[in-house]
């Protein structure tokens, strides 16, 4: 009986200790989830209202507003050296209808030079610098 109680006590202590160490890992940042930053960008006919961005590396979700463009718009982020290599996570979840808004999926941006634009609204390619 003594061995059973001792074994049970040790098992409970190991379980509690494991749970405590997981909590400490979460609090200490070892498993900390990075906060998603939100960026709102407005499109008018043939242009974005913000003509360039500088951001810190990290997770972003973009909200794209169609301000009376008169047709559906979208959103593309791509490396500046390869603008045809779209970062698909940065696409809006569906086309942005006239006078509405849509959000992109969450995209993790690493340091580098990018462009953002809308091929549906035929905007210029605006510079996006990630530090």
| pTM of the predicted model over 0.85 | no
**Residue 1's pLDDT is what?**
55
Q: For domain 37-130, give the CATH number.
A: 2.60.40.420
> Considering all CA atoms of the chain, what is the largest pairwise distance in Å, rounded to the nearest integer?
81
Of 68, 65, 71, whose CA–CA distance to 50 is shortest? 65
Residue 49: how many CB atoms within 10 A of its CB?
11
Residue 95: how many CB atoms within 10 A of its CB?
16
Q: What residue ranges do the domains of the chain occupy? A: 1-32, 37-130
42-88 tens-digit pLDDT? 999 999 999 999 999 999 999 999 999 999 999 999 999 999 999 99
Of 119, 34, 4, whose CA–CA distance to 71 is shortest? 119
pLDDT bucket at 112, cuts 50 / 70 / 90: very high
- Quote the percentage of the chain above a pLDDT of 70: 75
């Amino acid at each position: 009986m003594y061995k059973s109680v001792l074994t049970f006590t040790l098992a409970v202590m190991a379980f509690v200790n494991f749970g405590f160490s997981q909590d400490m890992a979460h609090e200490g940042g070892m498993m900390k989830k990075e906060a998603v930053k939100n960026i709102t960008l407005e499109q008018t006919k043939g242009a974005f209202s913000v003509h360039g961005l500088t951001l810190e590396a990290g997770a972003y979700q973009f909200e794209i507003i169609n301000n009376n463009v008169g047709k559906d718009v979208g959103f593309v982020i791509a490396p500046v050296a390869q603008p045809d290599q779209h970062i698909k996570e940065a696409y809006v979840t569906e086309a942005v209808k006239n006078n509405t808004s849509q959000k992109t999926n969450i995209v993790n941006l690493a340091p580098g030079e990018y462009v953002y634009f809308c091929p549906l609204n035929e905007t210029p390619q605006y510079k996006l610098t990630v530090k």
